[in-house]
Amino acid sequence: MATDNKRRNRLSPVRFPRPRPRAAIGRALERFSRTVTDWVGTSWAFGVALLVVVVWAATGPLFGFSDTWQLVINTGTTIVTFLMVFLIQRAQNNDARAIHLKLNEIVAALQGASNRLINVEDLTEDEVRLLHSYYAHLVTLAREGGDLTKSHSVEEAAARHALKLGREEEPRAS
């Protein structure tokens, strides 16, 4: 109990900024796009799309398979594809953000996990490559030690590796 109180006193409360109020049109578009995204991923949406194509193909003889008849399906599919690109991107952005938040929570909560991985998605490509090289080094050290499951961080792996070799080697700083 006393340890919990000491810990609480050490940790200052985190205050998050309030989200900016969004315009009504922004909230309406978000609700609409979420609803459409949920619906187009259903079997019913596929059935509707298939029905449209079947009806279009069946009306071909009525219109003599004319250029206008072909233009109808081409225009329709182009418009739907154009709009779907944005819906798919929105859904992927939202999913990726949620996954990153969950992974950040896991990294922050695990003792021994490297905090440098929190918000790694915000790093530049060069920083990600550098971080990758650190973890590639970790794998090399773990392979040399014969156990791929023991190390938690590059620094820890370098220190353990140095101890195994009986050398006094400084852990790599990041």
- Sorted by where each begins, the domain ranges of the chain are 41-109, 122-165
Q: How far apart are CA 85 and CA 2, in angstroms?
A: 55
Q: Is 148 helix (H, G, I), strand (E, B) or coil?
A: coil
For the chain, what percentages of helix, strand and coil (3-state, to nearest 5) are there? 70, 0, 30
pTM over 0.75: no
For the beta carbon of residue 100, count every other beta carbon within 10 angstroms: 15
Report the candidate in 68, 80, 73 with the shortest Cα–Cα distance to residue 56.
73
pLDDT values of the chain reduced to their tens digit, one per residue, 174 residues: 555 555 555 556 667 677 778 788 988 988 999 999 999 999 999 999 999 999 999 999 999 999 999 999 999 999 999 999 999 999 999 899 999 889 888 888 887 777 777 888 888 899 888 888 888 887 787 777 766 666 556 666 667 667 766 654 455 554
